[in-house]
Structure 1
Amino acid sequence: MSFVEWLVLLSTIFSVSFAWGTYLVHLYSTKNQPEKLKEDEERLIQLMGRVKTFVDSKLEILEQKMKEVNDLISEINDLYSKVLLDMSQLKEKNRQKTQENIIKEEKIILEEKNEIKKEPKTEKTMEEKIIELYNNGTSEAEIAKKFGIGIGEVRLIIDLFLRSKGGQL
C-alpha cells in the first residue's frame, strides 16, 4: 500500500472516530442534561428559599416597626386628647373665674353704693342748721337774716321740728 493509500485509510479512520466521538459526547451531554437541569433547579429552589427567608425576616422587622409607629400614634393621640381636655378645662376655669370676678366686682360696687347710702351726710341741711342755731340761743331774726329767709319760715321750721320730736329740742 502506498503512502497515499495509507493516508486515505488513516484519514477515514480518523474521520469515523471523530464522528463517533462527537456522537458519543452529544449522546452523553443529552443524557446528563436532565441531571444538570435538576441540579440547577435544586440550586434555584435553595436560593429562592434563602430569598424567602430574607424577605420574611425583613417583613417581620417592617411589621414590628409598623406596630411601634402605630403605638406612637396612639400615644400622640392620647396626649393630644389630654391636652385638648386640659385646655377646655382651663378655659372653663378662666370663664368661671371671670364670672366670679364680675360677680365680686358687682358686689363691691353694690356694697360701696350701700355704704354711701348708709353713711350719714356730713353736710347738714338748712333745716338742721336752723335748729342747731336755735338750740344755741340764736334769735329767729338773726337766723332768718343769716339764711336770707323770712322769720315766718324760720318759725315754721322750728315748730315742725318741735312737733316731730314731741316738743323736745
Structure 2
Amino acid sequence: MMKAVFFDRDGVLNEDRGYVFEREEFVWTDGAKEALADLTQAGYALFVVTNQSGVARGYYTEADVRSLHAWMTAEARRAGGDIKAVYYCPYLEGAPVAAYDRKSSWRKPGPGMILQAMADYDIDKRESFLIGDSPRDMEAAERAGIDGYLFTGGSLQVFVNRIIEERRRRGGL
C-alpha cells in the first residue's frame, strides 16, 4: 500500500485567479513545486483533485483542462515532483452547459475523486491526507476517511513540512 497526498489545485498548487485553464494564467503558489518534490522524495504518491465548474459554465472545455494538467504535471516532474494522476469534476447542478448540468459525487465536498483514486491505486488511508484551501476540501477529506489540512497561504513547502513533522510526532508515518 502506498501513502498519498491529495491536493486541491486552485489556491493550493496555483494562485486562484478564477477559472484558470491556460498556462499563461497558471502561476504556481510559493513553494508548491518544492513541496511536490519533497513529498515525492519522502515516498508519497501525489494526486490532484479539483472542481472545474468552468467547463459546466462554458468558459473552457475538458480538453483545455486536460491540456493544462498535462503541462502542470510535466512542470512538477521537471522540479522533482511526481503527480500520479489528476482527477477533476466538470459537473455543476444548474449549469448553463446542459451536458454538465448534474449532481456528482466527484464535486467536492463529495469524496468521489479521492475515493476513485483510492480504487485506482493501492492507497493506505491512515498514511494519506489532503491539502485544500476551503471548507469543502476539508469535508471531502473527512468523507473519504483521510485527514485534511487547510492551506491559507504562505509557502506550501513550509506548510507541507510542518504537516510531515506533525504526523511523524504523532506516529502517523
Normalised TM-score (structure 1): 0.15
Larger helix percent = 1
Comparing both chains, which one has the higher relative contact order based on Cα–Cα distances under 8 Å and sequence gaps of 6 or more?
A: 2
Larger strand percent = 2
- Look at both structures and tell me which one has the larger radius of gyration over its CA atoms: 1
Normalised TM-score (structure 2): 0.15
